[in-house]
C-alpha cells in the first residue's frame, strides 16, 4: 500500500480505481517538486519482487487523445495496455513530457517545420532544443513507490533501458513495441531509428 512520499523530488498523492476497456486498473497520482504531475496505472500484484511488465509512456496529446497518425504513440499506448491486460499484471507510467519534453505548443511549431521538410530531430534543433529533452529518471521514484524493482520494459527506445539500469531498476527483458507504422509516420520512425537509435 502506498503512503505519501517524503522524497522531495516526487510525492505520491493518492490512488483510485480506474475502469477501462482493458480491465480495472489502479491509478496512482504523483507530483514533482516543480508541480509537474504524473500518473501510473497498475494491474494485479506488482510489488511481489518478480519482474513486472512495464511501459514508460511520455504524454502525447496528439497521438494518445486526438488519434494522430504522425507518430506511433497512441498505437504504443494501446498495445502496452493490451499486453498488460493479457498478462493480468503490469504497470504503465504516464509521464507528462509532451513532445519529447518541449511541450505541446512547441511540438506544434515543430510539426510546422516538419510540414516544410525538416525531420523530427531537425525541427527540435531549429527551435533551439535538443533532439530529446525527456528525463526518464523520474520513473525510478515512481517504480520504487509502487514496489517495483525489476522490470520487463515495453519500448523501442534504448535510452529508457539505459536510464533504468543506471538508476538502479533492473531491466530483465526488453519487449519491443512494433506497432502503428503508416504512410504518415514512416519517415518519422525511420528518423528515430537513424538519429535516435530506436529499435524497430
Say if residue 42 carries a ligand binding annotation.
Answer: no
Concatenate the DSSP letters of all residues of the chain into one string. Answer: -------TTEEEEEEEEEEETTEEEEEEEEEETTS-EEEEEEES---SSS-EEEEEEE--IIIIIS--SSSSHHHHHHHHHHHHHHHT-EEEEEE--GGGGT-HHHHHHHHHHHHTT--HHHHHHHTT--S----TTHHHHHHHHTT--EEEEE-S-HHHHHHHHHTT-EEEEEE-------TTTHHHHHHHHHHH----
Q: Taking 90 as the threshold, does the pLDDT of residue 78 lie above it?
A: yes
Is 159 a known active-site residue? Answer: no
Spell out the domain ranges in the chain: 8-96+135-194, 102-132
- Give me the mean pLDDT over the 65-90 stretch: 97
Which pLDDT band, with edges at 50, 70 and 90, does 6 fall under?
very low
What is the reported pTM?
Answer: 0.92
Looking at the domain that runs over 8-96+135-194, which CATH code has it been given? 3.40.50.10990
Say if residue 98 carries a ligand binding annotation.
Answer: yes
Q: Which of 64, 72, 119, 132 is catalytic?
A: 132
Which pLDDT band, with edges at 50, 70 and 90, does 122 fall under?
very high
Q: Which of 72, 119, 134, 152 is catalytic?
A: 134
Q: Taking 60 as the threshold, does the pLDDT of residue 4 lie above it?
A: no
pLDDT tens string 130-169: 999 998 889 999 999 999 999 999 999 998 999 899 999 9
Is 140 a known active-site residue? Answer: no
Say if residue 89 carries a ligand binding annotation.
Answer: no
Which pLDDT band, with edges at 50, 70 and 90, does 5 fall under?
very low
Say if residue 55 carries a ligand binding annotation.
Answer: yes
Amino acid at each position: 500500500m502506498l503512503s505519501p512520499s517524503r522524497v522531495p523530488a516526487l510525492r505520491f498523492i493518492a490512488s483510485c480505481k480506474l475502469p477501462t476497456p482493458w480491465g480495472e486498473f489502479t491509478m496512482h497520482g504523483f507530483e514533482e517538486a516543480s508541480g509537474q504531475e504524473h500518473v501510473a496505472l497498475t494491474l494485479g500484484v506488482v510489488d511481489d519482487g518478480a519482474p513486472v511488465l512495464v511501459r514508460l509512456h511520455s504524454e502525447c496529446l496528439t497521438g494518445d487523445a486526438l488519434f494522430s497518425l504522425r507518430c506511433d504513440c497512441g498505437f504504443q499506448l494501446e498495445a502496452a495496455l493490451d499486453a498488460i491486460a493479457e498478462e493480468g499484471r503490469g504497470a504503465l507510467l504516464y509521464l507528462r513530457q509532451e513532445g519529447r519534453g518541449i511541450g505541446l505548443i512547441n511540438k506544434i511549431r515543430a510539426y510546422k517545420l516538419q510540414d516544410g521538410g525538416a525531420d523530427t530531430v531537425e525541427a527540435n534543433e531549429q527551435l533551439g532544443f535538443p533532439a530529446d529533452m525527456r528525463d526518464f529518471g523520474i520513473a525510478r521514484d515512481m517504480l520504487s513507490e509502487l514496489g517495483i524493482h525489476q522490470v520487463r520494459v515495453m519500448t523501442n527506445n534504448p535510452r529508457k533501458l539505459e536510464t533504468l539500469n543506471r538508476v538502479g531498476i533492473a531491466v530483465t527483458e526488453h519487449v519491443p513495441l512494433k506497432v502503428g507504422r503508416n504512410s504518415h509516420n514512416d519517415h518519422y520512425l525511420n528518423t528515430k531509428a537513424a538519429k535516435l537509435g530506436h529499435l524497430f
